[in-house]
């Protein structure tokens, strides 16, 4: 009989990703409502010290799978280990962050387990018949699908910033179990030798609480410096529209939209972005949207909570100065 709520915890350089902390907080609420145990699964090398952090974030049980072959993420190794663990433990539901790793891992894992996958979900609610239902955007965010499954385990990836991460409780204790990494040789066809990460003081685009994004209205790559100055003042990430990326002004990793990254920050500041539906599909779930555009008829104003009709080259520096005053107070 299926039991337990599993959170696959993602960590990088022994730092737990923010989306995993969000899932632990939401999983804790779900566990309290259902009477199920909340189980955190952590894979990697030298990860024993993460157990206390995971427990403080709500887990009743922490499963650690520590192995040299798991030091860096690889689809084959992680799928092999998690497939066997989930078949052994038979959880009700398995939640994974909809990150680059999660989007790679979850479909492969769903195939191995023979279950469906609710991907890029932005909502989750209790269901007396199916345990839990998920909400996910479809048609470039113009509609939402409500997904449920009677097959166990229910597997879903959750968009970062969908749920709030509660403050950790250092007094919480959890059962810690160490499992052996049972990896099939056939799953090790590819071995990760090295991961090169570009150094940046700014937060990851998909996990940032604030994003300052620029589009065609930036007029050139040299002008992004004014967005970067604003971003550094408020601790934001910098994004770009497809038009800006296609023009070669910013690298593709900065692209927000249907063919770029999907984000859901607390605050999204769109500068010189017209608001094409493909861009809205990537940032429409933002809690608050501020639009700055010279064209009062720009589509971005239809989704913005606050709009400023004006020249971004005049407006953004003023905002930067005002935020500097607020930060210094």
Q: Which helix (H) or strand (E) holds 4?
A: none
Question: Within 10 A of 142 (CB to CB), how many other CB atoms are there?
Answer: 11
- In the prediction, which pLDDT does 10 show? 96
For residue 50, what are the CA distances in angstroms to 9, 207, 327? 10, 20, 33
List where CATH 3.40.50.620 sits in the chain: 5-187
How far apart are alpha carbons 287 and 52 in whole angstroms? 31
State both tokens at 106.
Answer: 């979850």
Report yes or no: 160 and 207 within 8 Å, Cβ to Cβ.
yes
Does residue 199 register a pLDDT over 70?
Answer: no
Q: Which residues contact residue 61 at a Cβ distance below 8 angstroms, ignoring those fewer than 6 apart?
A: 4, 37, 38, 39, 40, 174, 175, 176, 177
Look at residue 120 in the predicted model and tell me its pLDDT: 93
DSSP notation for 9-54: E-EETTEE-HHHHHHHHHHHHHHHHHTPPEEEEEEESS-GGGHHHH
- List, by residue range, all CATH 3.40.50.1220 domains of the chain: 210-328
Q: In this structure, is the dihedral angle defined by the CA atoms of residues 294, 291, 143 and 7, taken in order, positive or negative?
A: positive
> If we measure between CA atoms, which residue out of 261, 301, 273, 306 comes closest to residue 287?
306
Quote the mean pLDDT of the chain: 92
pLDDT of residue 309: 97
pTM (two decimals) = 0.85
In this structure, the dihedral spanned by the alpha carbons of residues 250, 254, 255 and 256, taken in order and rounded to 10 degrees, is: -140
Mean pLDDT of 76-90: 95
Does 1 score more than 60 pLDDT?
Answer: no
97 and 17 Cβ atoms separated by less than 8 Å: yes
Give the pair of three-digit tokens for residue 296.
């009062």
- Rounded to whole angstroms, the Cα distance separating 213 from 196 reads 25
Q: CA-to-CA distance for 108 and 102, rounded, in angstroms?
A: 10
Where residue 59 falls among pLDDT bands split at 50, 70, 90? Answer: very high
**CA–CA distance, 105 with 87 (Å, rounded to integer):** 16
The predicted model gives 80-101 an average pLDDT of 95
What percentage of the chain reaches a pLDDT higher than 90? 75
The token pair that represents 321 in the structure block:
């100065």
State the pLDDT at residue 299.
95
In the prediction, which pLDDT does 198 show?
64
Percent of the chain at pLDDT above 70?
98
- Residue 129 is predicted with a pLDDT of 78
Which top CATH class is 5-187? Answer: alpha beta
pLDDT tens by residue, 202-238: 888 988 999 999 999 999 999 999 999 999 999 999 9
Residue 200 is predicted with a pLDDT of 67
> Do 71 and 81 contact (CB within 8 A), yes or no?
no
Query: Does the structure show a pLDDT above 60 at 291?
Result: yes
Fold annotation for 210-328: Rossmann fold (3.40.50)
pLDDT per residue over 114-132, tens digit each? 999 999 999 998 888 778 8
Give the 3-state secondary structure of residue 24.
Answer: helix
The phi and psi torsions of 180 (rounded to 5 degrees) equal: -85, 140
């Amino acid at each position: 009989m299926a039991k337990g709520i599993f959170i696959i915890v993602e960590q990088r350089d022994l730092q737990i990703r923010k989306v995993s902390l969000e899932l632990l907080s939401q999983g804790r609420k779900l566990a309290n409502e259902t009477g199920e145990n909340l189980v955190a699964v952590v894979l990697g090398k030298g990860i024993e010290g993460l157990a206390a952090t995971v427990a403080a974030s709500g887990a009743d049980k922490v499963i650690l799978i520590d192995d040299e072959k798991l030091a860096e993420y690889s689809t084959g190794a992680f799928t092999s280990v998690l497939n066997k663990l989930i078949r052994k433990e038979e959880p009700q539901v398995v939640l994974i962050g909809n990150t680059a790793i999660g989007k790679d891992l979850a479909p492969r894992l769903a195939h191995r387990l023979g279950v469906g996958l609710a991907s890029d979900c932005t909502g989750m609610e209790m269901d007396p018949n199916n345990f839990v239902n998920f909400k996910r955007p479809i048609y470039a965010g113009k509609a939402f699908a409500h997904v449920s499954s009677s097959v166990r385990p229910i597997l879903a990836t959750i968009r970062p910033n969908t749920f709030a991460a509660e403050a950790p409780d250092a007094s919480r204790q959890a059962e810690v179990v160490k499992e052996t990494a049972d990896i099939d040789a056939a799953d090790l066809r590819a071995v990760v030798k090295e991961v090169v990460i570009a150094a940046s003081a700014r937060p990851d685009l998909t996990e940032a609480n604030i994003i300052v994004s620029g589009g065609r209205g930036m007029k050139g790559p040299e002008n992004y410096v004014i967005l970067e100055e604003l971003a550094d003042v408020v601790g934001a990430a910098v994004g770009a529209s497809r038009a800006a990326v296609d023009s070669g002004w910013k690298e593709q990793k900065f692209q927000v939209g249907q063919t770029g990254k999907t984000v859901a920050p607390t605050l999204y500041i769109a500068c010189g972005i017209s608001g094409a539906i493909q861009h809205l599909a990537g940032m429409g779930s933002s809690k608050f949207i501020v639009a700055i555009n010279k064209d009062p008829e720009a589509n971005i104003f239809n989704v913005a909570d606050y709009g400023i009709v004006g020249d971004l080259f005049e407006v953004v520096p003023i905002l930067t100065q005002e935020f500097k005053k607020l930060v210094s107070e």
